[in-house]
């Protein structure tokens, strides 16, 4: 790391956990706009989780809406938003309020035969949670049980709702859910 980078890179203390955030932007439909908007996020310690580039849609000002999900330490979020603004990127909404909590579950069962993509789509649709990562492990091949780890970003205070949807979809498809243990008071 060079001296200049060391100055701009925020400090880490190892104590805080990265949290998911969602930023809604609007971009002019010109080449390079998206890349220009994403660079300040990475440069300020944000980890891009997903980008939803709604090319078919236009905002009232005739621009293209983009939804960016990212993960960063809570104290870095403001720096990211400031950097975007200084690049004159138009931010419609930014905040941890949108997707404030992370939920990880493991699904176990005949995931492929029970149509995993349908399972994931329904979890995302019904729970108003955003899937940020899916890992599948099917060591025995297609016929045997496999496991999938799902990471979801959920709205603050809505994790229990998302879990209820996951339980319901899993029960219908005869899948087992390994839920996280949430320790009250921590």
Partner 1 sequence: MSGKRLAVVGAGAVGGSVVELAREYGHTVTAFADSASAAVDADGIDVDSVLARKGSEGRVGSADPEAALDADYDVLVEATPTTLGDAEPGFSHVRGALERDRHVVLANKGPVAERYADLMALERESAGEVRFEATVGGAIPVLSTVEDLRPGHVTAARGVLNGTANFILSRMAAEGLGYEHVLAEAQDLGVAEADPAFDVEGTDAALKCVILANVLAEGAREYTLADADVEGIQNVPGSALELAAEDGQTIRLIGECTPDTVRVSPRLVPQNAALAVTGTRNIVQLETEHAGQLNISGRGAGGPETASAVLADVGRLD
Query: Contact positions toward partner 1, by CB under 8 A?
Result: 104-106, 108-109, 135, 137-140, 145-149, 151, 176, 178-181, 183-186
Q: How far is the CB of 156 from partner 1 (least distance, A)?
A: 20
Q: How far is the CB of 184 from partner 1 (least distance, A)?
A: 6
Measured at the CA of 114, the angle between CA 101 and CA 104, to 5 degrees, comes to 15
Q: Which is nearer to partner 1, 46 or 109 (CB)?
A: 109
Token code pair at residue 108? 């176990």
Q: How far is the CB of 120 from partner 1 (least distance, A)?
A: 15
Q: Which is nearer to partner 1, 70 or 105 (CB)?
A: 105
- Residue reference for tokens 């949670």: 129
Q: Which is nearer to partner 1, 44 or 119 (CB)?
A: 119
Q: Nearest-CA neighbor of 69 among 52, 89, 91, 86?
A: 52
Q: Which is nearer to partner 1, 151 or 173 (CB)?
A: 151
Instruction: Let me know: does 53 contact 96? Beta carbons within 8 Å.
Output: no
Q: Which is nearer to partner 1, 41 or 175 (CB)?
A: 175
Q: How far is the CB of 176 from partner 1 (least distance, A)?
A: 5
- Write the CA distances from 59 to 50, 69, 90, 129, integer angstroms: 20, 19, 12, 23
Distance CA 52, CA 56 (A): 11
Q: How far is the CB of 144 from partner 1 (least distance, A)?
A: 8
Q: How far is the CB of 124 from partner 1 (least distance, A)?
A: 19
Q: Which is nearer to partner 1, 128 or 135 (CB)?
A: 135
- Write the CA distances from 36 to 15, 25, 88, integer angstroms: 31, 12, 10
Token code pair at residue 13? 């203390």
Token code pair at residue 155? 């709205």
């Amino acid at each position: 790391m060079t001296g200049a980078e060391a100055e701009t890179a925020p400090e880490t203390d190892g104590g805080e956990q990265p949290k998911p955030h969602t930023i809604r932007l609007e971009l002019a439909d010109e080449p390079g706009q998206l890349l220009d908007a994403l660079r300040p996020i990475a440069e300020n310690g944000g980890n891009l989780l997903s980008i939803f580039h709604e090319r078919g849609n236009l905002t009232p000002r005739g621009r293209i809406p983009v939804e960016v999900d990212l993960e960063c330490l809570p104290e870095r979020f403001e720096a990211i938003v400031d950097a975007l603004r200084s690049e004159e990127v138009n931010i419609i909404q930014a905040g941890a309020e949108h997707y404030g909590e992370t939920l990880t579950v493991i699904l176990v069962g005949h995931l492929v035969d029970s149509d995993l993509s349908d399972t994931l789509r329904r979890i995302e649709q019904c729970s108003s949670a955003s899937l940020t990562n899916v890992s599948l492990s099917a060591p025995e091949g297609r016929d045997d049980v496999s496991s999938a780890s799902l990471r979801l970003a959920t709205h603050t205070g809505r994790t229990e709702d998302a879990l209820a949807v996951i339980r319901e979809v899993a029960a219908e498809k005869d899948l087992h859910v390994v839920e996280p243990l949430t320790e009250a008071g921590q």
